Amino acid sequence: VLKVFRQGNRHSIKELEVQVMLQGNFETSFTKGDNRLVVATDSMKNIVNVLACEKLGPENEPFGLLLAEHFLRTYRQVKRVEVTLSERIWERICPGRKPHPHSFVGGVAGRNIVRIVASSGKNDIESGFADLLILKTTDSGFENFVRDRYTTLAETNDRVLATKLKASWVYARRPKSFSKTNRSIIDSLLAAFANHRSPSVQSTLFEMGQAALRTASEISRIHLAMPNQHCLAVNLLPFGVENKNELFVPTDEPHGQIEGTVSRH
Amino acid sequence: VLKVFRQGNRHSIKELEVQVMLQGNFETSFTKGDNRLVVATDSMKNIVNVLACEKLGPENEPFGLLLAEHFLRTYRQVKRVEVTLSERIWERICPGRKPHPHSFVGGVAGRNIVRIVASSGKNDIESGFADLLILKTTDSGFENFVRDRYTTLAETNDRVLATKLKASWVYARRPKSFSKTNRSIIDSLLAAFANHRSPSVQSTLFEMGQAALRTASEISRIHLAMPNQHCLAVNLLPFGVENKNELFVPTDEPHGQIEGTVSRH
Amino acid sequence: VLKVFRQGNRHSIKELEVQVMLQGNFETSFTKGDNRLVVATDSMKNIVNVLACEKLGPENEPFGLLLAEHFLRTYRQVKRVEVTLSERIWERICPGRKPHPHSFVGGVAGRNIVRIVASSGKNDIESGFADLLILKTTDSGFENFVRDRYTTLAETNDRVLATKLKASWVYARRPKSFSKTNRSIIDSLLAAFANHRSPSVQSTLFEMGQAALRTASEISRIHLAMPNQHCLAVNLLPFGVENKNELFVPTDEPHGQIEGTVSRH
Amino acid sequence: VLKVFRQGNRHSIKELEVQVMLQGNFETSFTKGDNRLVVATDSMKNIVNVLACEKLGPENEPFGLLLAEHFLRTYRQVKRVEVTLSERIWERICPGRKPHPHSFVGGVAGRNIVRIVASSGKNDIESGFADLLILKTTDSGFENFVRDRYTTLAETNDRVLATKLKASWVYARRPKSFSKTNRSIIDSLLAAFANHRSPSVQSTLFEMGQAALRTASEISRIHLAMPNQHCLAVNLLPFGVENKNELFVPTDEPHGQIEGTVSRH
């Protein structure tokens, strides 16, 4: 859905992909072809549209909770609801550096993700984002790792570090503002990535996770996935040219995948 | 990797994407920047290449097990290994209907998937496939579901049923031949899909799962994911044309997602 | 669109993506905001649906021509129509090796493409396909090419040759059956690829083009695009293992792109 | 390739995909399997790497020209070179709003594209971009178009207009700075899109093209492709809810495709 918010002449927009998955007493629909308790996925779509029109506001988390609770309350056979909201990021067009009231341009690659898992009396709220490309051109090395008969990688104390970052954090209690807290978490992750002298992706991941936990006391843990987007220095010696760590080839496959969860203890 | 098997002039090929994820005592690499126990992802790639050259044969499951065990045995700090093998399907080119000894053409869309999870003394083997498009043009309806204020979907006893099937089954014991058992499971799934008079995706999913369990006593359960690839009948009455259930528009979004696991009890 | 053809209990299907591009006297819609001659793209979609329901049959070329002529005849302001039809390939499910009357499975990756360009009194018909993966494991080499200071590639007389073939041929006159002629052209391309001892992609491309021209006297020329899907032999000597041309790494980027048109003279 | 530019501690980066296509006297490689005049695509890759290391600077157009001329000058058999450079857009990470010297984040979706076509004594330079999402929530309508038996689209004077913009402009003479001129053209396109009261995509496209020609006297023409990314208002009346032009469903297929070239006369 795409929702337009109008405050006089100034419009804002929000574009969400919504996924709702239900679990509950649907056994007879599988085993006996009895559809009497089945909520058609088409009706689920209608519910999302009606609630988005009536209730969707600037923050995604309250809308996800509202959706999940609507399904739990309306249909007794539903025991567990999982709502995933994935937001495309739009920015305002600024002709002559002046923000335009109703025109927008697609923003950074990457999407904001909210995931709600609700059952009777219990809601889990997870916020985060996916597919954010980040890269640093120095302050990154990888040395002193296991060397055995399978090792050909050279040690280096100056390499390009690039990844397509995916992050999700779990709220232990509600913040005053989800969007402000999310924004400060993202800023802390990027700052840690930029400022940390990295001896490995693992270590940078841990620094970033710690920074997020320090920034937002409302979250209990954060998961980070950092696939190595390898940028390999090109050997130009066969052509009599020295590559002083200037030219790299970004390589998709094969790649390393580093993941980790940082929790309070 | 792509491996070529040569038996005289007759060649066979196997193209696999290999993913290996390790868990274990890597804490100090995260918290202290100490890489001494880190197996570089580059070395992991080298291990996959060496073992693929030496040991990869016609079946994927034994190779996945061998890979997992190699990591567990070689590196004490590794406590759990997850290996995922995803195979592109190639078929032989048949000029003049005669199978060619060394030329191949990309086969059905869809990939075979094997997933091994191994820790000391325990191996889980899951086989399956992803992204297989299947469609039936009749013997499918959807009636008697929940009707409330959010329901606009009409009941139908004759619709097009299409899905992008994902299936994975768990081996409780080793079959004589993984490839033969996998093939017979796939055949049983397709036959059940084709022959079952479907009152709902849920019911067809259950029939298919039951058929697989009946076919292969070696498997203990099967998970099926069947996203509805809606084919909507086009209303041509505004143009004075009657669409006798002949013309449909395939629609990607929004779609229904039906999933289920069928187990022996 | 997806169309279902019913002959008693036996159904056939055809799934097409249809693109229609119009050129003509639309200048005032651009320069003066005058829409009076504009055929809405929504109406164009309706026309495609109506004609698909009424006229689409087993062959794509006649439907493309009919569509193009409909636009030229109905709207005087239209001077040139380009119709592109892209067909997903479906095959019949065969439970117990018996073709099922109404159940289908997605076939080979790759799509059949038809392109019609029509203006008053003139129709060009181009048929072909895209994204067909083909691979041969021997009878392919590459030697005696330019060697200068930029050359590091080793000469080889036995390599893996793989490509994602795109082909399109132009009909100089109508064949008895488009589908039979197209089928025989595709077979001739695959046979030439399989049987030709290849000294270069260029040479194989020319052989394949010649084979198509020999097979179908109705076509005047054929264009082939053969991007090299490099399969690089992995060097395992650092690990004390000899790779006897058995293990390769398929590589997407960078790749060579070889294209050519073969015409009658 | 990814190139890092170092000015003391402050680094800049440029990530380009490079495509080079050669035409010339390669006939015997196709017809006789004679590779003596063939420049291996692997060598072409090496040339791109060497020249990127030695010569690639902050602007893409001069590098494209240099590459094209290198091939024409070095290999007599080459008669025409087409170079396409596609740039991923990176922005600086700004921890605490302060631009970081060596850390970057993936910028707006969309890529900058340069295309050079060179033959002896003649160079064509085309600059532009692809895949830029733009959207306006008002000041857009579509009325008074052709109404006939195929028309079901309602007229509207207030709709959401969204597109994935592709633009390319041809330089008639060299500007002082390609990057500044390109930037001012992009700004003029976005400003025209935002500020123009749109009676149709066609009219907005023409306004945008005119704005670009007014802004940059160095360009002779501009081509714009604006596929309609339809955002359809959702009908919620069946649920007793009025949708006051607030909630829309973005729809990929089917869509309208509007293209046009605006030239000086």
At residue B252, the pLDDT reads: 80
Segment A50-89, tens digit of pLDDT: 999 999 999 999 999 999 999 999 999 999 999 999 999 9
For A148, the closest chain C residue by CA position comes to C239
Nearest CB to D144 within list C36, C42, C253: C36
Q: Which chains touch C (3 or more CB pairs under 8 A)?
A: A, B, D
Q: What percent of chain D has pLDDT over 70?
A: 100
Contacts of C145 in chain D (CB under 8 A): 35-36, 38-40
At residue C181, the pLDDT reads: 98
Nearest to A51 by CA among A37, A68, A26, A39: A68
Report whether the peptide linkage leading into residue A254 is cis, meaning its omega lies within 30 degrees of zero: yes
Whether residue A35 and residue B200 make contact (CB cut-off 8 A), yes or no, is yes
For range A104-120, the mean pLDDT: 94
Q: Does residue C116 contact residue C140 with C-beta atoms inside 8 Å?
A: no
* pLDDT of A109 strictly over 90: no
| Chain C residues with CB within 8 Å of chain A CB | 149-150, 152, 238-240, 249, 251-254
For chain C, give the secondary structure using H, E and C.
Answer: CEEEEEECCEEEEEEEEEEEEEEECCHHHHHCCCCCCCCCHHHHHHHHHHHHHHHCCCCHHHHHHHHHHHHHHHCCCEEEEEEEEEEEEEEECCHHHCCCCCEEEEEEEEEEEEEEEEECCEEEEEEEEEEEEEEECCCECECCCCCCCCCCCCCECCCCEEEEEEEEEEECCCCCCHHHHHHHHHHHHHHHHHHCCECCHHHHHHHHHHHHHHHCCCEEEEEEEEEECCEEECCCHHHCCCCCCCEEEECCCCCCEEEEEEECC
**Counting beta carbons within 10 angstroms of the beta carbon of residue C94, is it exposed (0 to 12), middle (13 to 18) or buried (19 or more)?**
middle
For D15, the closest chain A residue by CA position comes to A250
Whether residue D149 and residue B253 make contact (CB cut-off 8 A), yes or no, is no
pTM for the whole structure: 0.95
* pLDDT of D69 strictly over 90: yes
For range D87-109, the mean pLDDT: 95
At residue D109, the pLDDT reads: 80
For range A235-247, the mean pLDDT: 96
- How much is the mean pLDDT over chain B? 96
Beta strands B231-233 and D10-24 are unpaired
For range A130-140, the mean pLDDT: 97
Nearest CB to C252 within list A239, A249, A252: A252
The series of mean pLDDT values per 10 residues for chain C, 265 residues long, is: 96 97 96 96 97 97 98 97 97 96 92 96 95 97 97 96 97 97 98 97 98 98 96 95 95 90 92
At residue D145, the pLDDT reads: 97
Question: Could you give phi then psi for residue A162, rounded to 5 degrees?
Answer: -140, 145
Choose, out of D75, D146, D156, the residue to mutate when testing the contact with C (most C CBs < 10 Å). D146
What gap in Å lies between CA B7 and CA C140, rounded to an integer? 18
* pLDDT of B167 strictly over 90: yes
At residue B57, the pLDDT reads: 97
For range A237-263, the mean pLDDT: 94
Segment B80-107, tens digit of pLDDT: 999 999 999 999 999 999 999 999 999 8
For range A197-223, the mean pLDDT: 98
For B111, the closest chain C residue by CA position comes to C109
Q: What percent of chain D has pLDDT over 90?
A: 96
For range D54-71, the mean pLDDT: 98
At residue A201, the pLDDT reads: 97
Q: Does residue B177 contact residue B60 with C-beta atoms inside 8 Å?
A: no
Question: Could you give phi then psi for residue B99, rounded to 5 degrees?
Answer: -55, 130
What gap in Å lies between CA A107 and CA A86, rounded to an integer? 14
Contacts of B23 in chain A (CB under 8 A): none
At residue C253, the pLDDT reads: 76
At residue D252, the pLDDT reads: 80
Query: A259 vs A136, B22, B114, D31, CA distance in Å?
Result: 19, 10, 21, 53
- How much is the mean pLDDT over chain D? 96
Chain C closest CA to A145's CA: distance in Å?
A: 18
For D210, the closest chain C residue by CA position comes to C31
Segment B39-49, tens digit of pLDDT: 999 999 999 99
State the count of interchain CB pairs (< 8 A) between B and D.
Answer: 15
Segment B68-81, tens digit of pLDDT: 999 999 999 999 99
- CA A95 from chain center: how many Å? 30
At residue B68, the pLDDT reads: 98
Whether residue B103 and residue C132 make contact (CB cut-off 8 A), yes or no, is no
At residue A252, the pLDDT reads: 80
At residue D85, the pLDDT reads: 98
For B153, the closest chain D residue by CA position comes to D238
Q: Where are the beta strands (DSSP E) in A172-256?
A: 219-227, 231-233, 247-250
At residue B3, the pLDDT reads: 98
Contacts of C253 in chain A (CB under 8 A): 251-252
* pLDDT of A253 strictly over 80: no
* pLDDT of B121 strictly over 90: no
